[in-house]
């Protein structure tokens, strides 16, 4: 067997090279301490005569093998000295290979193993090497460690007059684990002990460098390359400490994925897919989870201050951005904001407005209220948003007043659900608006309020729906048919139907026929759709700042769809169905979505409409236009009044008033009178192609992306690299050359821009991502104690039977007062439970309730038993009581068995 001495790395290499291959002789080399001018420090050696624990080698034991030089080195010494002469021997044992890593294993005389990495000589640190910067030192040892199969971490450093004179980089497994002490004879302490693990094993492998203030350079004066632990193979390199360190790009990726409600697990899988496997991904799933945790910790109690600072910055730097808030004792209560795009949308499409409250969008339970309308593509558009403390009339009044302050005009029609606070606020603020209730919220209550099997066993629901959703009938016809339905099904005494009929002018469509755009929204379904859109991105665990970012992401998605439809409208030409010139004219006016609706009316005016009767009153002609279905069966007919002089027209179906474009009956009359263009008075501006100014589509109005100069350049660099790699994907030679060019650029940048640990701290990275200061004062605090109807209790009612079953599942507890194992109580509440059970036993003679603390039963919190002869009003309660008694009986039996088997002394 071959035996080698360990002193310094260079001496070990020379000794190993001079050794004969396959020699069985042990080579005993003297332990010599030398001081030369290059290192100015002592070199390490191995003391093989030390006594080691074969299972664990701590740092003090290893120091008996590897005598490390003191940190306070006498750099002026140039003389040689000889240390005491223990015979330092490490015997070569075997070569160990793990994947792409290799190491030589050595044994001490008592069998303790040590591992020396077997890597390329060019990567091994050499004592006396001078480095121009600290980054070069770190890069050298990190490269060596990665090839060897271990991780590194920074050790201690020494300062003299605030100048760093020496620094250490250690093996990541250096140091001793902190052992938890507990009394193994104490069952309570044993139950609290949790098994843990530690990477520390006392390894002393390291390098030491000293700093020269004059030349600003670092000199390596000590290198220990023996480890008391195994090296890991390259197949496990992704779990090393260096590879698990999450960089800025990964932080940003996880954060941006969270804004789309994508958690750390899926984010990690996406990264593995994008980067070609787990080995190319920095960090584990746990590290990704910690990123979200660190972001929330960074925000902390500065949440309200951060969201207000963000909105204030937008107000100062962006055109026409508006926000307003209310605080109560430095606590944020209400907040409203609307940017230039929202205000432009309201200016054009604000004739009909709907808003509804939604919950569980932030961790403070603040109520989120978005204002929703319909744009010229018939898609939802947001006019503004708010966060409220509560749903009181005062809060909604402030909200609507602020909304009016931001937009400057009232809507024609406001649509909400049956919220009393909203209704009072709308009446007080929107004095010239018409308030309308959501039909869907009312009709969904029909089965719950009309009982007795009428809804299930008859066609009442179908006939009521057909009546209330009819857009054509007048008010008198509606009231007559409603009364007929009530009489037919004998519902005159139904209170809910009477209440709905009393407020019929607030929700039945025929009472809104004269209001422009009254049929644009008849329900709050668009509000529900918008709320669902925002909830896709946000969650109840978000802070206010995170919620704002999720809101920006959802809004950007909404505006992306709007831009896409605008592009399709301007860049495509629709296919015409008829040879009518008026259809071609309509195709140049309206957006693609609206033109499809108008085209349908023009097509049916040609194929399914006919004039039955014509009356002439001076310059006015009155046509009776009938229309049929696709089977050419008569459906309905309407009178169309047409002025032959100024070409004004009016139809009995009131389609233009209700929706904003002409109906099939009017188009048929125009065709009959050879009018080939839609008159200007019947062209609604809200449906035109260029309804919005071009500035609403600018990139500056997209808040979910980093529009800073550095952010734009970083994305451009990534795109450039991807495009080049895509172009060279079938040319491996040039692709390798391109990779080498990038590495050369990387080396140049790293040499010119030194590593700054202050910029790589987690808090600094999060500060750059959130665009918030790393340190700052907080004037405003988040709201606390919000309880609204959307919060929920988080609990459900539990019956007595279920309680008894759950108590039975719990193990017995030792009561020091009873001196035995019992169920449902302990020594803290024994007296109280005993008194309660005695009182219950006095009121009832049931055996199941007679057990009390101190007896063999040990039943503590069982409800008093009821007389079985007494009739029970509900069968469910009877079953619950029976389950309670059965569980009580089982508890008594089990408690008795435990008490018989357990000792009765208190010294258990």
pLDDT digits (tens, 9 = 90+) for 641-651: 999 888 899 99
- Sheet of 217-224: strand order equals 130-131, 217-224, 206-212, 163-171, 152-160
690-697 — which CB contacts under 8 Å span 24+ positions?
691/348, 691/349, 691/375, 691/376, 691/591, 692/344, 692/345, 692/348, 692/376, 693/344, 695/319, 695/340, 695/344, 696/340, 696/341, 696/344, 696/345, 696/559, 697/559, 697/563, 697/566
Output the CA–CA distances (angstroms, integers) from residue 686 to 105, 441, 570, 694, in the order listed: 81, 28, 16, 15
CA distances to 122, 414, 416, 594 from 527, in Å: 67, 12, 9, 21
Higher pLDDT, 823 or 502: 502
Helix (H) or strand (E) holding 4: strand 3-4
The token pair at 128 is 């006396």
Burial bucket for residue 431 (CB in 10 Å: 0-12, 13-18, 19+): exposed
H or E segment and range at residue 396: helix 393-407
Q: Where are the alpha helices (DSSP H) in 408-452?
A: 420-429, 439-443, 446-449
What is the per-residue pLDDT across 428-453, written as a single tens digit (0 to 9) for each? Answer: 999 999 999 988 888 888 888 887 67
For residues 225 and 12, what is the distance between their CA atoms, to the nearest angstrom?
10
- d(C-alpha 482, C-alpha 500), whole Å: 11
pLDDT of residue 184: 67
pLDDT at 264 over 70: yes
Task: Return all residues near 102 (Cβ < 8 A) that are at least 6 apart.
Answer: 95, 96, 117, 118, 119
CA atoms within a 13 Å half-sphere pointing along the CA-CB vector of 325 = 21
Instruction: Please give the Cα distance from 209 to 129 (Å, whole number).
Output: 9
Q: What is the pLDDT of residues 270-314, one digit of tens each?
A: 999 998 888 888 888 999 999 999 999 999 999 999 999 999 999
| pLDDT confidence bin for 596, thresholds 50/70/90 | very high
Mean pLDDT score, 60-69? 39
Q: What secondary structure, in 3-state letters, does 537-555 show?
A: HCCCCCCHHHHHHHHHHHH
Q: How far is CA 821 from the centre of its chain?
A: 46
By 3-state DSSP, what share of the chain in percent is helix, strand and coil, each rounded to 5?
Answer: 45, 15, 40
**745, two tokens:** 């650029």
Q: Give one DSSP letter per residue of 734-766, joined into a string.
A: HHHHHHHHHHHHHHHHHHHS---TTTTSHHHHH
Torsion of CA 393, 397, 400, 402, to 10 degrees: -140
* pLDDT attached to residue 92: 85
Quick check: 29 pLDDT over 50?
no
Token couple for 559: 């505006």
Q: In the chain, how long is the greatest CA-to-CA distance?
A: 132
Query: What is the C-alpha separation between 554 and 560, in angstroms, rounded?
Result: 10
Which pLDDT belongs to residue 873? 36
Predicted TM-score (pTM) of the model is 0.72
What CA–CA distance (Å, rounded) separates 273 from 789? 43
Tell me if residue 277 falls in helix, strand or coil. coil
Instruction: State the pLDDT confidence band at 817, using cuts at 50, 70 and 90.
Output: confident
HSE-up of 546 (CA within 13 Å, CB side)?
A: 30
Digit-coded pLDDT (tens) for 711-765? 899 999 999 999 999 999 999 999 999 999 999 999 888 888 877 878 888 999 9
What is the token pair recorded at 836? 């309660």
Q: What is the pLDDT of residue 188?
A: 65
CA distance 479 to 891: 66
Per-residue pLDDT of 357-415, as tens digits, reads: 888 888 899 999 999 999 999 999 999 999 999 999 999 999 999 999 999 999 999 99
H or E element in which residue 322 lies: strand 322-328
Q: What does the CA dihedral 484, 489, 495, 496 come to, rounded to 10 degrees?
A: -80
Q: Are 355 and 395 in contact (CB under 8 A)?
A: no
- Give the model's pLDDT for residue 461: 85
Per-residue pLDDT, averaged over 124-149, amounts to 89
Per-chain mean pLDDT for the chain: 80
Q: What is the pLDDT of residue 47?
A: 35
């Amino acid at each position: 067997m071959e035996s080698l001495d360990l002193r310094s790395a260079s001496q070990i290499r020379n000794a190993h090279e001079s050794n004969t291959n396959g020699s069985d002789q042990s080579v005993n080399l003297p332990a010599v301490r030398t001081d030369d001018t290059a290192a100015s420090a002592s070199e390490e050696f191995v003391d093989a005569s030390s006594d080691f624990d074969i299972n664990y080698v701590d740092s003090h034991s290893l120091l008996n093998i590897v005598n490390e030089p003191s940190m306070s080195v006498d750099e002026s010494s140039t003389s040689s000295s000889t240390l005491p002469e223990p015979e330092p021997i490490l015997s070569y044992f075997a070569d160990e290979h793990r994947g792409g890593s290799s190491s030589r294993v050595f044994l001490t005389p008592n069998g303790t193993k040590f591992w020396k990495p077997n890597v390329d000589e060019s990567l091994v640190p050499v004592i006396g090497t001078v480095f121009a910067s600290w980054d070069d030192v770190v890069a050298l040892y990190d490269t060596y460690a990665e090839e060897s199969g271990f991780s590194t971490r920074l050790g201690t450093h020494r300062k003299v007059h605030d100048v760093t004179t020496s620094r250490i980089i250690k093996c990541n497994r250096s140091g001793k684990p902190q052992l938890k002490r507990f009394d193994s004879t104490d069952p309570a302490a044993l139950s609290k002990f949790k098994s843990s693990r530690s990477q520390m094993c006392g390894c002393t492998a390291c390098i030491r460098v000293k700093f020269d203030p004059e030349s600003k350079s670092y000199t390596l004066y000590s290198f220990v390359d023996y480890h008391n632990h195994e090296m890991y193979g390259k197949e496990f390199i992704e779990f090393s400490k260096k590879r698990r360190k999450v960089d800025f790009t990964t932080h940003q990726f996880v954060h941006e994925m969270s804004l789309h409600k994508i958690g750390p697990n899926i984010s990690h899988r996406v990264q593995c897919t994008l980067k070609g496997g787990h080995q190319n991904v920095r960090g584990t799933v746990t590290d990704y989870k910690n990123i979200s945790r660190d972001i929330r910790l960074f925000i902390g109690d500065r949440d309200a201050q951060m969201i207000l600072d963000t909105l204030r910055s937008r107000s100062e730097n962006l055109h026409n951005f508006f926000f307003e808030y209310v605080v109560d004792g430095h606590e944020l209560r209400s907040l409203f904001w609307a940017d230039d795009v929202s205000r432009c949308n309201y200016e054009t499409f604000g004739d009909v407005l709907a808003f509804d409250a939604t919950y569980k969008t932030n961790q403070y339970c603040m109520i989120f209220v978005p204002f929703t309308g319909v744009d010229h593509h018939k898609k939802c558009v947001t006019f503004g948003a708010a966060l409220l403390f509560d749903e009181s009339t005062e809060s909604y009044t402030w909200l609507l007043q602020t909304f009016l302050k931001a937009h400057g005009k009232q809507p024609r029609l406001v649509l909400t659900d049956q919220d009393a606070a909203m209704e009072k606020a709308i009446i007080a603020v929107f004095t010239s608006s018409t308030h309308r209730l959501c039909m869907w919220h009312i009709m969904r209550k029909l089965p719950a309020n009309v009982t007795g099997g009428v809804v299930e066993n008859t066609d009442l629901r179908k006939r009521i729906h057909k009546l209330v959703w009819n857009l054509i009938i007048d008010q008198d016809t509606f009231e007559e048919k409603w009364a007929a339905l009530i009489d037919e099904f004998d519902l005159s005494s139904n209170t809910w139907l009477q209440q709905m009929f009393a407020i019929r002018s607030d929700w039945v469509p025929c009472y809104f026929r004269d209001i422009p755009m009254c049929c644009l929204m008849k329900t709050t379904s668009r509000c529900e759709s918008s709320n669902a859109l925002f909830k896709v991105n946000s969650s109840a665990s978000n802070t206010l700042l995170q919620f704002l970012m999720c809101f920006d992401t959802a809004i950007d998605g909404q505006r992306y769809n709007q831009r896409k439809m605008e592009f399709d409208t301007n860049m495509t030409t629709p296919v015409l169905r008829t040879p009518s010139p008026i259809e071609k004219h309509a195709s140049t006016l309206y957006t693609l979505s609206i033109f499809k609706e108008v085209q349908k009316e023009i097509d049916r005016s040609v194929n399914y409409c006919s004039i039955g009767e014509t009356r002439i009153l001076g310059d006015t002609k009155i046509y009776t236009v009938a229309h049929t279905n696709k089977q050419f069966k008569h459906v309905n007919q309407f009178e169309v009044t047409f002025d032959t002089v100024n070409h004004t027209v009016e139809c009995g179906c009131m389609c233009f008033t209700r929706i904003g474009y002409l109906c099939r009956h009017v188009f048929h009359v125009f065709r009959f009178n050879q009018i080939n263009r839609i008159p200007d008075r019947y062209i609604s501006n809200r449906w035109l192609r260029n309804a919005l100014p071009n500035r609403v589509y600018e990139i500056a109005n997209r808040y979910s992306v980093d529009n800073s100069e550095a952010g734009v350049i970083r994305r451009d660099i990534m795109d450039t690299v991807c495009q080049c790699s895509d172009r060279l994907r079938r040319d491996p030679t040039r692709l390798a050359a391109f990779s080498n060019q990038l590495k050369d650029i990387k080396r140049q940048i790293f040499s010119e821009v030194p590593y700054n640990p202050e910029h790589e701290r987690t808090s600094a990275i999060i500060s750059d991502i959130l665009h918030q200061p790393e340190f700052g004062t907080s004037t405003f605090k988040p709201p606390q104690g919000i309880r609204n109807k959307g919060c929920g209790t988080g609990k459900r009612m539990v019956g007595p039977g279920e309680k008894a079953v759950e108590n039975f599942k719990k193990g017995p507890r030792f009561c020091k007062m009873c001196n035995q194992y019992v169920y449902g109580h302990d020594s803290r509440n024994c007296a109280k439970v005993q008194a309660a059970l005695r009182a219950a036993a006095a009121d009832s003679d049931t055996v199941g309730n007679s057990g009390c603390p101190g007896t063999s039963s040990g039943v503590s919190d069982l409800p008093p038993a009821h007389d079985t002869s007494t009739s029970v009003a509900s069968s469910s309660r009877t079953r619950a009581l029976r389950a309670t008694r059965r569980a009580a009986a089982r508890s008594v039996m089990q408690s008795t068995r435990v008490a018989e088997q357990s000792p009765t002394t208190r010294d258990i």
